[in-house]
Each structure stands twice: as C-alpha cells, then as structure tokens.
A and B are shown apart, each in its own frame.
Chain A
Amino acid sequence: AQSVTQPDIHITVSEGASLELRCNYSYGATPYLFWYVQSPGQGLQLLLKYFSGDTLVQGIKGFEAEFKRSQSSFNLRKPSVHWSDAAEYFCAVAQGFSGGYNKLIFGAGTRLAVHP
C-alpha cells in the first residue's frame, strides 16, 4: 500500500537560513509526488509537483524539491526562509493511471516555525 512519511513533526529555523523538509514515500511504481502548504486557518495550496522528467522541480515562493528514486524521497528545500513561510507542509503521493490520478495519500505534515 502507498504511504508517505514525514519524519519531522516540527522544525524551527531562523529567518534567512536554509530549509529542508524530508519526505519518504512507499510505492512500487513511479509515483506522482506533491508538496502542499497550509497557512493557519487556511486550505491547502500546491507548492510543486513531480510527475516525470527532471528530478529537480521548481515551485512557487522559491521552493524546490528533488525526487530521488533510489532513496524513495522527495525533499523540499528553500535556500533562504522568510517569516511568511511559517506554516504546515504536507507531502503527498498519488497512484497514476493513463488518464491522470485519482487519490492522494498525505503525510502527517511538518510544522515550520521561523524565528526572526
């Protein structure tokens, strides 16, 4: 069965520092992978997604993620964190089919706090 693990429940970084949020997935075939961000009291917003091709994916707000098949990982990175990046981040995996995909499996989330 598909699953997603986000090992870090809570991370605190200083503003301007670099950030890496970890995500490991379990899925037999090539997965579709996503990172979503949720600000307090808000719905989820897509940061970036990986379907195929280049394993380094660029997203919105200066985020990027790298797909590493050998490590079953899809870690999210940002070179310099801003205070507005404080939020909860979710990694998700989907099973693809010829017409797209139907279901997303989410990780438990990583809550990011940013110190000034």
Chain B
Amino acid sequence: NAGVTQTPKFQVLKTGQSMTLQCAQDMNHNSMYWYRQDPGMGLRLIYYSASEGTTDKGEVPNGYNVSRLNKREFSLRLESAAPSQTSVYFCASILPTGHTDTQYFGPGTRLTVL
C-alpha cells in the first residue's frame, strides 16, 4: 500500500513549456486534490475532484487544468508555464464516507519555472 504517489519529484521548466504532474492513490479514495505551497501562504487548493468524473476549481485554478483519469489517478497540467507557477505541488486524497475522514498527502513535486 503506497498511499499517495506523485511524479516527478523535481522538475525545471522554461517559461512557456508545458508539463503534466501525475498523482495516483491506491486507497480506493473517492476525492482527490491538487494544492500548491508557497512560502508564507500555506497550501492553496488549485483543483479538486470530489468523485470520479467530476472536477471543480479551488482557490487558485488559473493557468492549470486537471484530469481525473480514473478513480486512482488525478493529473495536473500546466499548458504554458510561468515563473509565478514556481512552487511545491501536493496531491491529496480522501474517501470520504463520514466525519472522521482524513486527507492523505503525497510527498510533493518541486517545480521551478525559469
């Protein structure tokens, strides 16, 4: 049981390049999330998928797209990377089935856009 996995761990892009961040969970969770973490700002929600086949915008969705490929996988795409997207990106998942649920986080992807 690997939990939540993310690839790649590190990435450097040039302005205007595109890339996709991959996330997978093996806990049979329904909901998945993408956050970005910037110094002094905590984690901010980019997009989330409450269940397979649905996606919704979070707090900072501009410049990103997502795909909920199946129940296990939720990818984040940067179509034209900008220096403002330099950040650490975390994927998370949750069941949820009741009020005791917890979000489980992946190890993160550190992205630098030059």
Contacts and interface: CB of A to CB of B under 8 A. Distances in A.
Interface of A: 4, 6, 9, 32, 34, 36, 42-46, 49, 51-52, 90, 96, 99-109
A100 B90 contact: no
Q: Is the interface of A mostly helix, strand, loop or mixed?
A: strand
Nearest to B101: A100
B107 A102 contact: no
Nearest to A100: B96
Interface stretch (B12-20, B43-51, B66-74, B79-87): B43-51
A106 B99 contact: no
Interface string B15-35: 000000000000000010101
Contacts of A108: 40-42
A51 B99 contact: yes
Given A43-B107, A101-B101, A106 B96 contact: no
A34 B101 CA distance: 11
Interface residues of B, number: 29
B10 to A, nearest CB: 11
B11 interface: no
A104 B40 CA distance: 17
Contacts of A105: 45
Given A42-B107, A43-B105, A43-B107, 4 more contacts: A42-B108, A43-B90, A99-B96, A102-B31
6 contacts: A6-B42, A42-B107, A45-B105, A99-B98, A104-B45, A108-B41
